[in-house]
Every structure is written in C-alpha cells, then in structure tokens.
A and B are shown apart, each in its own frame.
Chain A
Amino acid sequence: MVNFTSTIFAEGELIYTDGGLLAQYAWLLVLLPFVAALIITFMGKYLPLKGAEVALATIGLIFLYSSALMYAHITSGVVNEFFINVGSIGVFDIEFGWVVDGLSIMMYFVVGTVALLVFIYATNYMEGEIRYTFFFTSLTLFAGSMLVLVSSPTLIQILIGWELVGVCSYLLIGHYWEKKDNSSAAMKAFITNKIADVGLMIGIIILALNTGTLRISEILYQATHEYEKLSSVAFIAAILLFIGAMGKSAQFPLHVWLPDAMAGPTPVSALMHAATMVTAGVYLLARMFPFYKSMAPDALDIVMLFGVITLLAAGLIAVVQDDLKKVLAYSTVSQLGYMVAAIGSGAYTAALFHLWTHAFFKALLFLGAGSVIHAVHSNSMLEMGGLRKVMPKTFATFIIGTVALAGLPPFAGFFSKDEILASFNHEGEITFFFIAVLGAFITAFYMTRAVSLTFLGEYRGHGHPHESHNLMTTPLLALSVFAIASGWVNIPGVYTGFTDWVTTRKNKIVEYHPESFDLFALSSGLLAGLLGIALGYYLYQLQGSAETGDDKIKIQPIWSVLENKYYLDDFYFNYVIDPVKINISRAVDKFNTNVIDRFVNGFGQIASLLGGIVYNNFDQNGIDKLLNMSSSGTDSFGGKVKLLQTGKTQQYLMLFLGGVVTISLLILFII
C-alpha cells in the first residue's frame, strides 16, 4: 500500500491532512455495498422487509461515513490516496485503491445522501412490485459501483466502475423487462454507453502508454510538469476521454438513451439519471481537468461546444413532451450540458457546484414526479392536473424543485447557474453565454408548463389520486431542504467553502475564482428565469391550457421536429443500427450457416459416410459374410458329405477298399 504524504506544490499552498483513520478505512465505503448486495441476493427473500432493510442499513452507513468524511474535509482538509497492487502487465502495475480528496469526498456525500433518501422512498414506491428484492440488490450494487468509480485513483478502476454502473443501469432500467419497450430501453442505454466507452478505453490506453503509468495523480503530474511525453497525443486522448464522458453524461448526440431510460422505475431515474450515474462523465472531466487545462485547451473548446449544443437542443425537446418523466429527463440532459459546457470553459468549480445542486433538486423533482405518477397511475401529463389540492406536500416540494431548477434566488440553482454564466462571461464566450441564458429561459418555461399541466387547473384523469405515504414524502421534504440550502456553500464574496473543498486535491486546479457576483451574468440569468416562468404561467394557466391540456404554442413544423427529437433516433436506426442488423449481422449469420456450419457438418457427413462404407463393406459383406460362410459352409459341406451315406453296402465297401489300397500304397512306397 502506498501512502501519500503531504507535498507542497510550487504555486500556492494547499493545507490539508492525510485523513487519518477515516481515510484509511474509506475502502469500507466501496466494499460495503457489494457485501450487502450479496446478502440481499441470498437472504433477502427471507428477511421481514425482503432485503430492503439491509440496503437501507448499508446506505445509511455510507451516508454517515461520507458525512464524517465531509466534516473532516470541511474542517481540516483531507487529501490521500491508497493503492493495492493486484498484478502487473508489462511495465504497468494494475492497482486498485481509493482516493479521499475534495472531489471524491464531495461525490461520496452526494451519492450517500441522495441514495439514502431514494432508498427510503423506494421501499414504499416499489412495494408490491415484482422482483422487489432484486431491485434492492441492483440499487445497492449500483451504489457500490458508483463509489468504485468516484473513489478510483487509477484509470483502470475508473473504467471498471464505469462499466459496472453501466451494467447496473441496464439491470435497473430493464426492471420491468416483461414489456419489450423496457428491455429495449435498457439495451439502448447499454449499447449507447458502450459505443462511447470505446473512446474512453482508447483514451485511457493512449494516456497509459505515453505516461507509463495508470495512476491518475501521476498522469496529471506529468501533464502539468513534464510536458514532453504527452504533448503529441494530448489532444487525441482528451477528445477520446470526452467521447466516453459524452456517453455517460448524455451529451448530444449520444443523449438518446436517457429519455428512454425513463422506462425504469422512478427511484432509479431519480438516483441514477439525475444525481449520480450521469454525472460520472462530468466527474471524469473534472478529475482529469489539470490535464485538459494544461495540455489540451482546444479539446476544452470542443467540450464546451458540445455542452452548449446539448443544453439548447435538449431544452427545446423538453418543451414538447407530454410525459412528465421525459420532461425531467430532457431537463437533466440540458443541465448536464451546462455542467459540461462549464468544464469546457475552464470553470472547474462552477461545473462541480452545478453538479452538486442539480443532484439535489433534480432528485427532488424526480421523486416528486414519482409520487404523482404513483398516485395517478400514468406518466402522461395530459391525464393529470389539479393535483395541488390532493397532494399538497408533493406540490410544495415540486415547486421548490422547479424554482431551484429555474434559478431563482435564494434557491440552489440560482447560485450554480450564475457561476456558470459568470464563467462564460469571463472567458469572453458571448455566444455561448447567450445560448446558456436562452437555455435558462427555456428551462424555466418548460418546468412551469410541467407544473401547470400537473398540479394546476383541474384534474383530467379518471382515478382517485391521494397524497403519498410518509415514506415517500419525507425524502421529498429532506431533499427540498437541500434544494434550498445547498447553494449557500459557494456564494462569491460571502462564503466560497465549496471552492475550497473541491479544489483540495493532489494536483492543483488552475482556474478563475470570482471575487463577487458578476452582475451581468446574474441579471441575465435572473431575467431569463423570471421570463420563462411568466410566459409559462401565462400560456398554460391563464390561457386555460391547464384545463384542456392543449398546447397553445404548437408551431408546426418546429413542433414536429422537436417531437421527433430532431429525427435523431430515426437517423440512428436507419444509418447505424439497420446496416449492422440487416446487412452485417445477416451476412455474418449466412457465413456462419453456410460456411462454418457446413464445414463442421461436412465432418459429420464424412464420418457417417465412412461409417457407412465400413459397415456395408467390411461389416456386412466382409465379417458377416465370413461368419455366415462358415456356418453355411459347414452346412453345405455336411450336406455334401451326407450324400456319401447312401445306404448301399457296395459303395461303402468301395470306399473302404479304396482307403485300404491308398494306405497300403502309402506305407509301401512312401513311408
């Protein structure tokens, strides 16, 4: 085990400790979920709560541990990494381990908190559903996989964690796999991620080959201090790693899996596709930020471009959705675009801050949507409406989440979005700044639309909705507290603790830290948010669309383009999947059947032919004939010999005398 001890970098001083026992035993965070998953698998069915209690206990422990780590980090700063060597391939040592530094501890805390609340929520939401125990196994596995990912000190472990969360995502999205749509959605998620993972793997290989090590901290050190080794391949490696991040964090054009992933149960959507798994891409970019910043700034421009495209495109699609979860899904894609664009513009802290706040309010929104869907038994907003009267707690928390997402003070989203806009402004990316502002406007608009169609107006459905169980509303309340307060940890000019927390790592982060509020960004963002809410309220509430559920702003043909998701899915199906499925797969199948199978069957035919030849010629004609001949020969010989017995004495005598003469002659002359 390698123990990192304090080192002072050349520029500036970072003050931290090595975390002591808390850091040393942080591997418990990673190991506990897997142990729990095993326990739930084998014993879950026989436990009173069907395995949920084991999951809750585990995630509770993780929450407590991560809170303790967070506290230790806030008070004294913790930077440490631990390695376990499991072997070596050539010059590369394969090491696993765990990192405790600002970025990781922040992620631990997010995962622990959101997962705990989602788990509590899920015990009630999934009650009576099929495969309840397996659901908790998968959720616990997912929590463990995410922790493996965010605690990895080596690129190998990131890859392993990456794939593990992909698998758990597949399992959880396809929870109701009895319906073809759900299993297709799971497959879509997995395969889209897999396509992106090719980039990730190649990028990792390039980095490892050129630096001679798999350890992230060492790669980053070489990237920031020894420029020669990586300079030729830095850009390619950066782009490839970003491709991997695109898959996981649903950037355009690899975002297509996220809306379909809403086929999974709502707790899954809340945990994975809002707070944790989709942020893995942002985490990767954040972890490798020193590398990007110092060696591949052009790659950062491309990252920013894709992030901005994503946030705008996804936001527009969210406007036309009738499914409540799909609105939130596209909203997530759009906000991920914000985070990625922030990283691309060099705002490390802003991106992570938005990740932090977004995790809380998006999880809140998803859980609230789950509560609504649970009550109405339908995902479609056209069958909702007027739910504010029957589900007050859900309504209140949903409003809090919406306002946080729209970016109004003093809610969380305001601060994080403002920092991103400020970063755009500072870097001089005015185009992207305005696109981001437009995105904020669209975000507020579609969220207000969603709220109006769901909660305001009158009920258009056929059921009897009622407020959800306490186990579901309590996490909503807890998350709403976070949705309000989580933004207060990084107020420029007042308290920038979050910046300190996430920049406390082994490799120094070079970025711009605003001293106070950027008024231009602040005003633009605020204005955009207020305008969006106003327009949404006007169109949907005052115009009465909430009663009829009619979308007043359907402007064809833009509406149909947006409804068809820019025809992107069709493009993928026709030009990517079908050529492979119809042409390549069929050709390979034909080759297999006609060539390979025929070849193998030929052996069988040759063997049977040989067997037939041997049977007919050697066995039947040869050996059997021999045996038959011996018996028939004996028979015919006997038949011929018996003719000697004629009964005529004279013939007997003749034979007798003939024998006598012969023997006498023999004796006389020969012997």
Chain B
Amino acid sequence: MEIFEIVTYFVLLLLITTAVRVVTTSNVIHAAISLVFTLALTSVLFLLLSTEFVALVLVLVYIGAVIVLFLFGIMITRAPLGKNAELDNDKNKKLGAAIAGSIFLLFSYILVNGFDGEVVITSGSSTELLGEILLSRFVFPFELVSFILLAALIGGITLARKDEALIDEDQV
C-alpha cells in the first residue's frame, strides 16, 4: 500500500468519525464544530484528488460563511447550549436508524457494484482550466447562480427583518 492510500484511508476514517459526531452529540456547539471538521477533512480529500480549487472554495464558502451563519443561528435561536439530552427525538431514533441504515446499504451496494478499480490521478493544477470552462461553457449557470444568491440575499433580509422596521420605512 502506498503512503497515498494510507493517508486517504486515514482521512476517510476521520471523516466518518466527525460526521458521526455531528449527528449524535448532544451539544449543539460541538455538532457545529464537528461539521467544521468534516468539511475540512472533505477539503483535504479534495486536495488529495487534485481538485484544489473546489477544496479552497469549500473552505472559504462553507466553513468560512455557512458555519459562521450556523453559529449565528444557534445563538439567535437560543439553542440550548451545553450538554443536554433533549436534542434528539427519541421516538424517531430507531426508525431513523433503520431507514438510514437501509439507505446506506442500498447506496453502497449500488456504488460498489457500479464502480470498481483504481483511478490514476492526473497531477498538476486544474484551476486554470476550471476557470476557463466555468466562464465560457458554464457561464450561463454561473450568472444564474449569482441571481440565486441575490434572491437569497434579499429573501433572507426580508424574512429576518423586524416588522416595525417596515412600518418605519413606510412612514418615512
């Protein structure tokens, strides 16, 4: 086994651990932080797969913005901080586990049956090529996505605004 594989296995192992931590911990903050670690490890995995741009985007956008947003959300909604056992719906645990387990088995079966072998990773940076394709071939979805971001932005602001502010605005 190459060092490369060992590192990959290690990353995967950590990935699973942290993901498990996300959904099972009873501390909300711990769940958010575990998600950070999961995303970080995912980024490492991407780097190993020689797609550095996506890895960097992941880190920047996901960890940098989304998780922060999550933390803000936790704070604002006064999620119970600290360890408490009231975070899970006990009723749903068994059934949820069963469904999750069956989905896992199903997917792994499909994927394992579908794909096999090893791949050769082309070394070298693909960022240049990616930027070219993104802005030439996929420029249309790119622009649309920016519109979606705009809509989300406006929608978020509108939803989260306090009503008095709206009234104030009218009076002004």
Contact = CB atoms under 8 A, between A and B. Distances in A.
A634 interface: no
A658 B99 contact: yes
Contacts, number: 21
Contacts of A657: 99, 103
A7 interface: no
B155 interface: no
A654 B106 contact: no
Contacts of B141: none
A577 interface: no
B17 interface: no
Interface in B74-108: 89, 92, 95-96, 99, 102-103, 106
A651 B95 CA distance: 10
Contacts of A665: 106
Interface string A58-97: 0000000000000000000000000000000000000000
B99 to A, nearest CB: 5
B92 A661 contact: no
A650 interface: yes
A630 interface: no
Contacts of A651: 92
A664 B106 CA distance: 8
Given A664-B106, A665-B106, A654 B89 contact: no
Interface residues of A, number: 10
Contacts of B89: 650
Contacts of A658: 99
A654 B101 CA distance: 13
B97 to A, nearest CB: 11
A136 B103 CA distance: 116
Interface in B105-131: 106, 109-110
Nearest to A664: B106
B96 A661 contact: no
Which of B92, B99, B103 has the most A CB atoms < 10 Å from its CB?
B99
Contacts of A664: 106
Nearest to B102: A661
B63 to A, nearest CB: 27
B135 to A, nearest CB: 37
Nearest to A650: B92
B92 to A, nearest CB: 6
Nearest to B110: A668
B92 A654 contact: yes
B103 A661 contact: yes
A665 B99 CA distance: 13
A654 B95 contact: yes
Interface in A290-314: none
Contacts of B106: 661, 664-665, 668
Interface string A657-671: 110110011001000
A651 B99 CA distance: 12
B162 to A, nearest CB: 26
Interface in A614-671: 650-651, 654, 657-658, 660-661, 664-665, 668
Contacts of B95: 654
13 contacts: A650-B92, A650-B96, A651-B92, A654-B92, A654-B95, A657-B103, A660-B103, A661-B102, A661-B103, A664-B106, A668-B106, A668-B109, A668-B110
Given A661-B106, A665-B106, 7 more contacts: A650-B96, A654-B92, A658-B99, A661-B99, A664-B106, A668-B106, A668-B110
Interface of B: 89, 92, 95-96, 99, 102-103, 106, 109-110
